[in-house]
Amino acid sequence: MMRFIFAPPSVVPFCFFSRRWQQALAAVALLWLIGTMCDEVQASPAAISDDVVKIGVMADMSGVYATVCGEGCVTAATMAVEDFGETVLGKPIEVVSADDHNSPESAALQAKTWVEREQVDVITGLVASSVTAAVTAVTNAAQRIVLISGSGSDAFTTSACSPYIAHWTYDVVALANGTVKPMVEAGKKKWFFITADYAFGLALEEVATRVVTTQGGVVTGSVRVPFGTADFAPYVRQAAASGADVVALANAGEDFVNALRAAADIGLTQSMEVVGLLVFTPNVKALDPAITANMRLTTGFYWDRDDSSRVWSERFFARAGVMPTMVQAGVYSAVSHYLNSIRQAGSDTADVVMKAMKSTRPNDFFAQRARLRPDGRLLHDMYQVRIKTARERKNPDDLYAIENVVHGIVAFAPPVPSCLFRKHRATIRE
């Protein structure tokens, strides 16, 4: 806003003008002030680039991760926009979506098109970590924000960190700390890994191995399995011959389902403890409760946690026909906080929005005791759960019993100093 600059009295004393001139000058000054105020009011909506806030949801819409995010993530983002009021700073909010086909090349091309031709302001969803890495290479260069909800690799707040990344829902460190550590402490010392052979699986095995060895355990071996493998029998047999106490499945989605079914078929689930390091509720529903009963795992969200999660999840169910995964709930939470931060910042410029996102705590059914660190990692509660037996379940979606709540400060790794982006640092009063 412009300011009046008054000349010193020694130059042009206002009182030297006649009364008529004083009245005329006062009127001109008043009109000028009103004009600048109107200009400022009109300028506020112009803070929205291209007169629209455009949110891109990118996910596997038809492959092994379709039920994890997919169209459900589009639904979650749309719900967030609708609940926000469908406009921000007087401008409309639009949601667009695309299938990444679990292909980094396809995802990068789509991100480039969105950023350069379609003026997409923020991208969310993103499950396969290799896909996310390809997308963030594009968005970082373009200084566009990415709200990662589905990917697990911790690289996005460490080796591949960026001031334009917010990693929202979970990562491999939180999963390993939540699931592996208490099992090793309880005496399960020897581990074997069946690992998805791409960025996420390798990162999960690496972090889990570090937790095992730090707690005094050993890794007896591991096998890497190509993404999307249908027949896990050869890999499960290697695990059976390893002499391990625990066989850890460092994979997700349909890979997890196929691996656990193969383990059950050869009787491995009866002779050894098999644990999923990343398990989503649709995958649990797809399996016989006799196979999954009493398996323990870590998750960032469960629909039946409390009243607030149940209310939102029932709304989601009414639209999608299924209960939400933690990835879909995370998309809603991240988009909501992003829109609130635009309103707070008065602009959709990435730097000022990220500063606002890191200076204000998100507070919704998903983000419990949450704050976005300067490195882009959202700290929030994680949940150690046990999969219920068939007899315990009251309905098909009654899957988990929450046994412990892990504060985000404990669940996630400390920040890497090189990723503490100072231009976005903000103080949150505890």
Where residue 194 sits, what CATH number does that domain have? Answer: 3.40.50.2300
- Alpha carbon separation from 285 to 301, 388, 424 (Å, rounded): 16, 11, 41
Nearest CA to 130 out of 96, 107, 99 is that of 107
Does residue 228 lie within any of the structural domains?
yes
pLDDT at 228: 85
331, 228: one domain: no
Does residue 73 lie within any of the structural domains?
yes
Average pLDDT over every residue of 282-295: 95
Average pLDDT over every residue of 78-107: 97
pLDDT interval class at 276 (50, 70, 90):
very high
Q: How far apart are CA 172 and CA 263, in angstroms?
A: 23
pLDDT at 47: 86
Q: At residue 24, does pLDDT exceed 60? A: no
Does residue 105 lie within any of the structural domains?
yes
Q: How far apart are CA 185 and CA 17, in angstroms?
A: 87
78, 166: one domain: yes
Does residue 412 lie within any of the structural domains?
no
pLDDT at 123: 98
265, 348: one domain: no
pLDDT at 8: 37
Average pLDDT over every residue of 38-42: 36
130, 237: one domain: no
Q: At residue 99, does pLDDT exceed 90? A: yes
Q: How far apart are CA 265 and CA 242, in angstroms?
A: 18
User: In b/e form, how buried is each residue of 394-419, taking b as 16+ CB within 10 angstroms?
Assistant: eeebebbeeeeebebeebbbebeeeb
130, 180: one domain: no
Higher pLDDT, 204 or 425: 204
259, 180: one domain: yes
pLDDT at 81: 98
* Domain count across the chain: 2
56, 163: one domain: yes
70, 123: one domain: yes
By residue range, what is the domain housing residue 208?
A: 173-277
Q: At residue 107, does pLDDT exceed 50? A: yes
Q: At residue 75, does pLDDT exceed 80? A: yes
Higher pLDDT, 429 or 395: 395
Whether the Cβ atoms of residue 187 and residue 373 lie closer than 8 Å to each other:
no
Q: At residue 183, does pLDDT exceed 90? A: yes
Higher pLDDT, 99 or 18: 99
Domain boundary among 380, 409, 425: 380
Nearest CA to 246 out of 216, 215, 279, 212 is that of 212
Q: How far apart are CA 32 and CA 51, in angstroms?
A: 27
Question: What is the distance in angstroms between the CA of the first residue and the CA of the last residue of the chain?
Answer: 33
The Cβ of residue 348 has, within 10 Å, a number of other Cβ atoms equal to: 26
pLDDT interval class at 305 (50, 70, 90):
very high
Q: Say how many CA atoms lie within 13 Å of 75 toward its Cβ.
A: 24
pLDDT at 425: 62
pLDDT at 329: 98
Q: Which residues pair with 408 in a beta bridge?
A: none
Q: How far apart are CA 300 and CA 317, in angstroms?
A: 19
Does residue 291 lie within any of the structural domains?
no
> Which residue is listed with tokens 């989605």?
253
> Counting beta carbons within 10 angstroms of the beta carbon of residue 289, is it exposed (0 to 12), middle (13 to 18) or buried (19 or more)?
middle
Average pLDDT over every residue of 6-35: 40
Q: At residue 426, does pLDDT exceed 90? A: no
166, 178: one domain: no
Does residue 344 lie within any of the structural domains?
yes
pLDDT interval class at 196 (50, 70, 90):
very high
Average pLDDT over every residue of 385-414: 97
Instruction: Please tell me whether residue 248 adopts helix, strand or coil conformation.
Output: strand
Q: Which of 44-48, 93-97, 236-240, 360-364 has the lowest mean pLDDT?
A: 44-48
Average pLDDT over every residue of 211-220: 96
Average pLDDT over every residue of 35-56: 64
- Alpha carbon separation from 411 to 112, 165, 280, 295, 361 (Å, rounded): 34, 19, 18, 20, 18
Whether the Cβ atoms of residue 374 and residue 420 lie closer than 8 Å to each other:
yes
Three-point CA angle 297, 300, 304, nearest 5°: 85
The Cβ of residue 182 has, within 10 Å, a number of other Cβ atoms equal to: 17
Q: Say what the pTM is.
A: 0.86
pLDDT interval class at 428 (50, 70, 90):
low
163, 180: one domain: no
pLDDT interval class at 388 (50, 70, 90):
very high
Three-point CA angle 129, 135, 138, nearest 5°: 145
pLDDT at 13: 39
Average pLDDT over every residue of 34-56: 63
Helices within 215-306 (DSSP H only): 233-240, 253-265, 268-271, 281-285, 289-292
Higher pLDDT, 75 or 10: 75
Q: Which residues pair with 223 in a beta bridge?
A: 194
Q: At residue 5, does pLDDT exceed 60? A: no
What are 308-338's pLDDT values in tens digits?
999 999 999 999 999 999 999 999 999 999 9
Average pLDDT over every residue of 400-404: 97
Query: Helix, strand, coil % (nearest 5) of the chain?
Result: 45, 15, 35
Q: What is the side-by-side order of every strand in the sheet holding 382-387?
A: 296-299, 382-387, 400-406
Domain boundary among 380, 398, 420: 380
pLDDT at 64: 85
Average pLDDT over every residue of 110-127: 97
155, 214: one domain: no
Does residue 215 lie within any of the structural domains?
yes
pLDDT at 39: 36
Phi-psi region of 367 (alpha: psi -120 to 50; beta: other; left: phi over 0): beta
pLDDT at 427: 52
Q: Which residues pair with 379 in a beta bridge?
A: 371
pLDDT at 26: 46
Does residue 405 lie within any of the structural domains?
no
Three-point CA angle 355, 358, 359, nearest 5°: 85
Q: How far apart are CA 221 and CA 245, in angstroms?
A: 12
Q: At residue 37, does pLDDT exceed 80? A: no
Domain boundary among 277, 293, 319: 277
131, 210: one domain: no
